[in-house]
Amino acid sequence: MAGNLVVGQAGGATAVINASLAGVVEQAQRSGRFSTVWGMRRGAEGALAGDYIDLSRVAPAQLPAVAATPGAILGSSRHKLDDEEAESVLADLIRRDVRAFLYIGGNDSADTVHRLAQLAAARGYDLSAIAVPKTIDNDIPETDHCPGYGSIARYVANATLDSAQDTESMPTMYPVKFIEVMGRDAGWVAASAGLAAPDPTSPPHLIYMPEFPLSRQDVLADVERVYREHGYVVAVVAETVRDETGTPFADPGVSAEVDAFGHPLLRGTADTLVRLVQAELGLRARFDKPGSLQRMSSRFVSPIDRAEAEEVGRAAVRLALNEMTDCMVSIIRATDEPYTSATSYVPLANVANRQRLVPEEYVTADRRGVSEAFRRFALPLLGAGALPHYVHLRDLVPA
Amino acid sequence: MAGNLVVGQAGGATAVINASLAGVVEQAQRSGRFSTVWGMRRGAEGALAGDYIDLSRVAPAQLPAVAATPGAILGSSRHKLDDEEAESVLADLIRRDVRAFLYIGGNDSADTVHRLAQLAAARGYDLSAIAVPKTIDNDIPETDHCPGYGSIARYVANATLDSAQDTESMPTMYPVKFIEVMGRDAGWVAASAGLAAPDPTSPPHLIYMPEFPLSRQDVLADVERVYREHGYVVAVVAETVRDETGTPFADPGVSAEVDAFGHPLLRGTADTLVRLVQAELGLRARFDKPGSLQRMSSRFVSPIDRAEAEEVGRAAVRLALNEMTDCMVSIIRATDEPYTSATSYVPLANVANRQRLVPEEYVTADRRGVSEAFRRFALPLLGAGALPHYVHLRDLVPA
């Protein structure tokens, strides 16, 4: 393969999206098969504007620092190319003799890659258009899991453990705690809170995932039951959780907004539940909303996740060198103990604009917790030393 | 000194309040001078109910794990003893032959210790009532700083760095980020965000502390100016920030609530500012509200803070053994480079119910950032390896 390679980053930044970029640049430089490795600024926005930067100039010795830096170093965006824009981008790629277009992103970015691949094929232009999976939502189908998920799961499990220590410390003052986490339509991030519990009686007592709608009365009954049983309540709630009519719990005054992809921009789910519990049960409640910290904390990066994020970047370059196109790198779990994985690829038609939700087998019968099957799936992704061990008074001074 | 020792934990839990407890128990056990070391459950609530647990049974080998566990292992509360309750607690302490009463807490707890000390003196009962300082707010006077502050400062500086990476990654989508942090009436916690900035042009661009009231127009003018200059805005805001009339920015529907000490229970400051900026400037804004995570994250504990928290616990026992009373352990900064400190003590009359606010010399002239003097004060408290080094595109591919 001659010509040039373009790589870009799209969608919400994560703690390991730069690791995938480092993997791409490393493998592309090492292959010696590309004249120039171009970085696209701000995802599709940069492609439209012809805003590229020469990453061939990046010294290999700097790549480990890139891989360790959270955020999208090239800049990211949620802009989705329409047909006309895709035509314009392709024409520019052809002018620049770009033969490999690698795009690190989630479901929506996969659609952009798919569109470019099909358009290039229709024009008879040899372009390897490859999607590199990345999303904390873990909702891309046809891959065991998504780079970014292991690190946010590590963050959320730790945050749940820490926040529960707080609530357990002051049950008479603030007995109810909600922790609001991300996840769009899927409950994978919320589910990872369940990894904090060493046994079924430990917090989190309740996990609310968007896959399983629930009424306000359900929440009140849950909180009251757990409070009676444990004296305090730690509940983890996906920001997109909905009631039985499909209406988000989030403040409707805000949820009417949508992002550039038409996804509702939700805020205030935990805030809404705090007010509900205080008003209806008379229990003082508080919430933590780590927001972007949950997907950006370099201190909670899973070493497994970072290594896989780099590897899917390298694998994308190898696919391009083999002149593959219209596909996404996927991760295959090779062995469970010890956990090992390998990369493969799947056609983008199977991936673009589809979502993988949390299946019933990964939750408990009451849909308020996670199953052993989920723990077997998710725990290895957090990497070694993921969770600290805390002591309790009952361990120190047995009754 | 014969008799027994009682130790309790009060106020909001922190990541190092158990380190102080471990310091007390270790020194008390080692002295061999107390028949029993009692732990008071849930602070003053436990003292009122006679709910004590025998900490003499804790094995010394378990104390390091106690010190490494965030949260108040004995349980905490914000209950403040009134005169009648103090009489009742003292009567119980006398019955139990308690000669040392050590209370780990903030300004309000210092008041409870002061009251007990004075009451015991008035009754002619020999009681060493000692306050062990603990507050993330860092607002106790007469001590260089408070145990708990170094760790929350480390958390907030890291959170600011990570969250800024996110905003810098997607400036065209979400150009404005507010990070809401704790601090009650004092801006020490918000100020620590300034430690994230390696230079004056780096985020955070704006820090809002409760010491310096500002109008909604000020916020809008600040955000617009920073946005024009940098293309994105990272602002750190204390949850208690007030406007020029003294009214909190937080949603008044919630801020009308007060906690057991009569402090307003505020929520929604960042949420309010997000809505303001979106409505008035048309800039998309988001907020992170780490809530209790900022004071409970074991992964962000400052090693300096943990060591000092243990040491103030030990120092309190030594004061009791010297039959001191009505005083608080204080920290004195011994040397700046390398940072070293020692403990001393101050009369509780100088401490109880007083607050130390951020002085003018610790902020920039525009009161939107921190000064070099603040950096010299605060940075050593975060301990070694406090902040990661992130790379930027400009470092990799110089223009």
Q: What are B109-120's pLDDT values in tens digits?
A: 999 999 999 999
B76 has a chain A CB within 8 A of its CB: yes
Tell me how far apart the alpha carbons of residues A293 and B397 are, in angstroms, rounded to a whole number. Answer: 27
Single out the residue of B230, B228, B394 nearest to residue A66, CA to CA. B394
Domains by residue range for chain A, with CATH: 4-147+299-350 (3.40.50.450), 151-295+357-384 (3.40.50.460)
CA A300 vs. chain centroid, Å, equals: 14
Across the interface, whether the CB atoms of B298 and A162 are under 8 A apart is answered: yes
What does DSSP assign to residue A39?
A: E
Whether residues A166 and B295 touch (CB distance < 8 A) is answered with yes
Q: Which of residues 92-151 of B touch A (CB under 8 A)?
A: none
Check whether A275 has a pLDDT greater than 90.
Answer: no
Shortest Cα distance, chain A CAs vs residue B350, angstroms: 28
Task: Please tell me if residue B60 touches chain A, with a CB cutoff of 8 Å.
Answer: no
Residue B75 and residue A299: Cβ atoms within 8 Å?
A: no
Using CB atoms and an 8 Å cut-off, which of residues 268-307 of chain B contact chain A? 268, 271, 274-275, 286-293, 295-300
Residue A257 has pLDDT above 80, yes or no: no
Give A312's pLDDT tier (boundaries 50, 70, 90).
very high
Identify the active-site residue in B108, B111, B137, B139: B137
Alpha-carbon torsion B301, B307, B309, B310, what sign?
A: positive
Closest by CA to B246, choosing from B230, B258, B264, is B264
Cβ–Cβ gap B291/A295 under 8 Å: no
Q: Worst-scoring range by mean pLDDT, A33-37, A141-145, A254-258, B295-299?
A: A254-258
For residue B104, give the 3-state DSSP assignment.
strand
Cβ B36 vs Cβ B56: under 8 Å: yes
Chain A residues whose CB is inside 8 A of the B173 CB are 76-78, 259-260
* 3-state SS assignment for residue B373: helix
CB A38 within 8 A of CB A52: yes
The answer to whether B357 faces chain A, any CB pair under 8 Å, is: no
Where in the sequence numbering do the catalytic residues of A fall? 137
- Per-residue pLDDT for A262 more than 60? no
Phi, psi values for residue A386, rounded to 5°: -70, -35
Q: Which amino acid is at B151?
A: S
Rounded to the nearest angstrom, the minimum Cα separation between B347 and chain A is 28
Q: Encode A144-175: b = buried (16+ Cβ within 10 Å), e = exposed.
A: bbbbbbbbbbbbbbbbbbbbbbbbbbbbbbbb
Strands (E), B23-92: 37-40, 52-54
Mapping DSSP onto H, E and C, the string for A253-321 reads HHHCCECCCCCECCCCHHHHHHHHHHHHHCCCEEEEECCCHHHHCHHHCCHHHHHHHHHHHHHHHHHHH
Closest CA to B39 of A180, A300, A393, A32: A393
- Residue among B55, B163, B173 minimizing CB distance to A296: B163
Measure Cα distances from A253 to A179, A256, A268 in Å. Answer: 21, 6, 10
Distance, in Å, from the CA atom of B292 to the CA atom of B181, rounded to the nearest integer, reads: 9
Q: Residue range A148-174: average pLDDT?
A: 96
Partnered with residue A289 across adjacent β-strands are: B289
CB B18 within 8 Å of CB B296: no
Angle in degrees, CA B111, B117, B120, rounded to 5: 140
Whether the predicted pLDDT of A309 surpasses 60: yes
Q: Which residues of B95-123 are buried (b: 16+ CB within 10 A; e: fewer)?
A: eeebbbbbbbbbbbbbbbbbbbbbbbeee
Question: Is there a catalytic annotation at residue B222?
Answer: no
* 8 Å CB contact of B267 and A271: yes
Q: Are B94 and B53 in contact (CB under 8 A)?
A: no
CB contacts, 8 Å: B390 with chain A:
68-71, 298
Q: Which helix (H) or strand (E) holds B296?
A: helix B293-296
* Mutant choice from A168, A173, A273, A389 vs B, greatest count of B C-beta within 10 A: A173
Of A68, A286, A391, the CB nearest to B69: A391
Looking at residue A1, its pLDDT comes to 62
Q: What percent of chain B has pLDDT above 90?
A: 84
Interface check B310 vs A, CB under 8 A: no
Average pLDDT over every residue of A253-280 = 67
Q: What is the pLDDT of residue B337?
A: 87
Query: Average pLDDT of A46-53?
Result: 95
A304: exposed, middle or buried (Cβ count in 10 Å: 0-12, 13-18, 19+): buried
Q: Rounded to whole angstroms, how far apart are CA atoms A260 and A255?
A: 14
Contact residues, chain B, for A168 at CB < 8 Å: 71
Q: With contacts defined as CB-CB under 8 Å, which chain B residues touch A287?
A: 289, 291
CB atoms within 10 A of CB A276: 16
CA angle A280, A286, A291 (to 5 degrees): 125
Note which residues in 158-187 of chain B have CB less than 8 A from chain A: 158-159, 162-163, 165-173, 177
Backbone torsions φ then ψ of A232, nearest 5 degrees: -160, 165
Output the pLDDT for position B256: 46
Q: How confident is the model at residue B171 (pLDDT cuts 50, 70, 90)?
A: confident
Is B66 within 8 Å of B23 (Cβ atoms)?
no
Residues B350/B131, Cβ–Cβ less than 8 Å: no
pLDDT of residue B262: 53
Restricting to A residues 373-392, those with a Cβ less than 8 Å away from any Cβ of B are 388-392
**Residues 221-260 of chain A whose Cβ lies under 8 A from any Cβ of chain B:** 254, 259-260
- Window B:79-98, CB contacts with A under 8 Å: none
Closest A-chain CA to B75: A169
Take residue A215 and report the two structure tokens written for it. 């009424």
Closest Cβ opposite residue A291 in set B45, B289, B296: B289
Confidence tier at A254 by pLDDT (50, 70, 90): very low
**For residues A105 and A77, is the Cβ–Cβ distance under 8 A?**
no
- For the whole model, what pTM was predicted? 0.95
Closest residue to A173, CB basis, from B68, B77, B392 = B77
Mean pLDDT, residues B328-355 = 94
d(CA A159, CA A367): 21
B42 contacts A393 by C-beta, under 8 angstroms? no
CB B58 within 8 A of CB B25: yes
Cα–Cα distance for residue pair A166/B15, rounded to 1 Å: 9
Do the Cβ atoms of B75 and A169 come within 8 Å? yes
> Would the pLDDT of B121 be above 70?
yes
Whether residue A169 and residue B259 make contact (CB cut-off 8 A), yes or no, is: no
Phi first, then psi: what are they for B59, rounded to 5°? Answer: -70, 135
pLDDT in tens, B224-272: 999 999 999 999 999 999 988 888 887 654 444 444 455 544 458 998 8
Q: How confident is the model over A377-394, as pLDDT tens digits?
A: 999 999 999 999 999 999
Residue A265 pLDDT greater than 70, yes or no: no
Return the percentage of chain B with pLDDT > 70, whole number: 95
Express as a percent the part of chain A with pLDDT over 70.
95
Token pair belonging to A102: 């690698």
From the number of C-beta atoms within 10 Å of its C-beta (0-12, 13-18, 19+), residue A116 rates as buried
Predicted ipTM of the assembly? 0.95
DSSP secondary-structure letter at A130?
E
CB–CB contact B287 A291 (8 Å): yes
Q: Best residue in B293, B294, B382 to probe A by mutation, most A CBs within 10 Å?
A: B293
